[in-house]
Structure 1
Amino acid sequence: MNDPKEDLQHIRQMMERSSRFISLNGLSGVAAGTIALIGAAIAYCLFQQYGIDYFSGDRYAYSYELEWKLFLLAAGILILALGSGILFTIQKSKRNGLKIWTSTTRLLLGHLLVPLIAGGLFCLALFYHGLFGLIAPATLLFYGLALVNAAKYTFSDIQYLGYCEIFLGIMASFVPGYGLIFWALGFGILHIIYGLLMYKKYK
C-alpha cells in the first residue's frame, strides 16, 4: 500500500513542475557574474586608455569613439551572459528529463522581457541624449524589476536577487559617476553569490 505522505509529496512536485520553470541552473548565474566582472575590468581599461581616471570622482566628457566602444562592450557582455544562461539551462533540463519550451516558459519569458525591453529602450534614450551616468543605474533597476516580476514562474529565491538589484540601482542613481562600481556589484558579485547559493540548494 502506498504511503499517503509520499503520494502527496509526489503530487506537490508535479504541480510545482507544471506551474514553475525549475530548469534554472545556479552555474548560469556564476558564469554571468564572471562575464560581467571581466566586462567591468575591460571598461575600466578603456577609460584608462582614453586618459580617464574613473575613480578620481571627476566628471569627464567622453569621446564619441569611447562611447561606442562601451556600448559594444555592454552588448557583447549581454550576449555572452544570455548564451551561458541558455546553455546551462538546456543542460540541466536534459539531465532532469524536463521540457524547456512549455506554457510556463512562455509566461516566464513574457514577465521577464517586458521590463527588460522597456529598460533597454530607456537606456538607448539615455545614450542618445548623452546621459551616460544614468545608464548603469537604469540597467540595474529594470533588471531587478524584471526578476521580481518573473519570480512567480520560477524559483521564488530569484525575487531577492531582484530586490538587491533594484536597491543598487537606486543607490547608483544618486552617484552616477560611480555607476561602473555598482554595475560590477550588481551584475558581477551578486550574480556569483546568488548562483552559488542556488546551485547548492537546487543541484
Structure 2
Amino acid sequence: MESKDYLKDISEIKNMMNKSSRFISLSGLSGILAGIYALIGAAIAYWLVKTYSNGVLILDGWVFESCLFTLFAVAILSIGTGIILTTRKAKKDGSKIWDTPSKRLVFNFLIPLIVGGLYILIILIQGKYGQSGGLMLIFYGLALVNASKYSIGDIQYLGYVQIILGLIGAWEPGYGFWLWVLGFGIMHIVYGTWMHFKYDKS
C-alpha cells in the first residue's frame, strides 16, 4: 500500500514539475483548422495563378499581391484560432495562458520564424522565389523543434517532418507548392487530429 502511495506522490510531483517548466495546453483542434486554412489558401492561390497568370507566378502585379495577401490571411487566421482555442483549453485545464513556460515557448518559436521570414523576404526581393516554399517549411520546422523544449514534446516530430519536406523542396523547387500544401495543410490536419485525441480528449 505504501509503495503505491509513493508512486502516486512521485507521479504528482513529476506532473507539477512538467507543468511548471512546459506549456502543455496547446490545442490539437487549432492544428486541424490551421491545416484547413492552408488548404483553402493554397486552392485560392493555385486558381489565381492558373487562371490569370498562365500557371506561372511572377513577382509583380495583382496576382502575386493576391497570393501574398492569401498567405498572410492564412497565417493570421491560424495564429488567431490557435490563441483562442489554446486560451480556452488553458482555462479548462486551470493553467495560466501567459506565464514563464508560455513566454519561453513563444520566444523560442519566433526566433527561427522571424529570421526565416526575413531571409525569404530578401530572396523574394531579389527575384529568387523558386525555393521560397521549401524555405518556409524548413524554418517553420526549426521553429517547432526549437519550441518543443518548452511545450508538448510531440510537436518536434511535426517539426522534423516539415524540415524534411522543406529540404526536398529545396532540392526539387518545382514541387515546392505541393510540398507546402502537404506540410502546412495535410500534415497539420493529421498531427492536429492525433494531438486532439491524445491530449484534448484525455
TM-score in terms of structure 1 length: 0.93
1:8 pairs with one of 7, 10, 31: 10
Which residues of 2 match residues 18-167 of structure 1 at below 5 A? 18-53=20-55, 61=58, 63-167=60-164
Aligned-pair identity in percent equals: 46
How many residues align? The count is 198
Q: Distance in 2 between matches of 1:60 and 1:44?
A: 9
Kindly provide the amino acid, as one letter, of the partner of residue 52 in structure 1.
Answer: N
Which segments of 5 or more consecutive residues in structure 1 lack a partner in the other structure?
54-58
The secondary structure found in structure 1 opposite 2:95 is coil
The secondary structure found in structure 2 opposite 1:132 is coil
User: 1:131 Cα shift?
Assistant: 1.5
Large movers: runs of 4+ above 6 Å: none
Asked if 2 retains the 8 angstrom alpha-carbon contact of 1:20 and 1:152, the reply is yes
Which segments of 5 or more consecutive residues in structure 2 lack a partner in the other structure?
none
User: 1:187 Cα shift?
Assistant: 0.3
Kindly provide the amino acid, as one letter, of the partner of residue 18 in structure 1.
Answer: S
TM-score in terms of structure 2 length: 0.93
User: 1:176 Cα shift?
Assistant: 1.6
Deviations 1:70-106, CA, capped at 9 Å, x for gaps: 1111111110111111111011011111101111111
User: 1:5 Cα shift?
Assistant: 1.5
Asked if 2 retains the 8 angstrom alpha-carbon contact of 1:112 and 1:146, the reply is yes
CA RMSD after TM alignment: 1.5
User: 1:60 Cα shift?
Assistant: 6.1
Asked if 1 retains the 8 angstrom alpha-carbon contact of 2:120 and 2:132, the reply is yes
Residue matched to 1:56: none
User: 1:134 Cα shift?
Assistant: 1.5
Kindly provide the amino acid, as one letter, of the partner of residue 37 in structure 1.
Answer: L
Q: Distance in 2 between matches of 1:62 and 1:178?
A: 18
